[in-house]
Amino acid sequence: MAYYFYLGKTLLPVAPSKLTLKIGGQNKTYNLINDGEINVLKSASLTEIEFDALLPNVQYGFAVYKNGYQPAEAFLNAIETLKKSKLPFQFIVTRAFPNGKMLFDTNMKVSLENYNIVEESKNGLDVTVSIKLKQYKEYGTKTAILSITQRKTTAKVKNSRNTSTAPSNGLPTTYTVKKGDCLSVIAKKFYGSGSKTYYMKIANANGISNPNLIYPNQVFTIPV
């Protein structure tokens, strides 16, 4: 039976004597409370492929070349190019009977994971390369646009003298001065602090030159 091995567009001159395709599973086994087990079936993992290929440096009658004899270096360069490209390629193995009738073939997109170059005295001038491939599946990414809507809320501050609305929605509000109020008291109602920084903020927003002189029924704008 005749075998032909293709790595992308490169036909290996000598078909490997052994090809291993590892088709793993990702099934998960769980222990139940009653000490029993269940097996949750999942999709198969990516196929892993391994083989050793002979790359002759001598022209043999059993070797096959698409465009005439080429030394081992030409095939090593082609393998290195596949690795450096960081791109997937087609791995094809065709099988045919001696009469030329096709048996079946292997054809899948793969990535070149790694390869080892071995030189042994028993192989003379020839080189052996051990190749590991992994099945490659196309994938893509999607862009998600998130829209966040914020609700405008107001926080009510209550006390025995006055009910006011704090400017928590990003907009200024108003406050009517009551008897006994001062700017520091008003500032504390809205900002949680009656310090100079806050009561002067109210004074400046309302054109008050003397923060100590305010009168009942005045309406102040409370800035954010």
The single residue listed with the structure tokens 């001159």 is 13
Mean pLDDT of the chain: 86
Backbone torsions φ then ψ of 215, nearest 5 degrees? -130, 150
Residue 163 predicted with pLDDT over 50: no
SS3 61: coil
Task: Say whether both 171 and 83 belong to one domain.
Answer: no
What is the reported pLDDT for 80? 96
CATH number reported for the structural domain that contains residue 199 in this entry: 3.10.350.10
pLDDT band at 156 (very low <50, low <70, confident <90, very high): very low
What is the reported pLDDT for 154? 47
User: Which range of residues forms the domain containing residue 27?
Assistant: 2-135
Task: Say whether both 184 and 93 belong to one domain.
Answer: no
Residue 210 predicted with pLDDT over 70: yes
What residue type is assigned to position 161 of the chain? Answer: R
Q: What pTM did the predictor assign?
A: 0.57
Higher pLDDT: 123 or 146? It is 123
Task: Say whether both 98 and 176 belong to one domain.
Answer: no
Task: Say whether both 186 and 77 belong to one domain.
Answer: no
Q: Does residue 141 form part of some domain?
A: no
**b or e along 46-84 (b: 16 or more beta carbons within 10 Å of the residue's beta carbon)?**
ebbbebebbbbeeeeeebeeeeeebbbeebeebbeebee
Higher pLDDT: 98 or 178? It is 178
Task: Say whether both 14 and 120 belong to one domain.
Answer: yes
What is the reported pLDDT for 160? 39
CATH number reported for the structural domain that contains residue 26 in this entry: 2.40.30
Task: Summarize the confidence of residues 157-170 as an average pLDDT.
Answer: 47
Task: Say whether both 131 and 160 belong to one domain.
Answer: no
Domain count, the chain: 2
Q: Does residue 160 form part of some domain?
A: yes
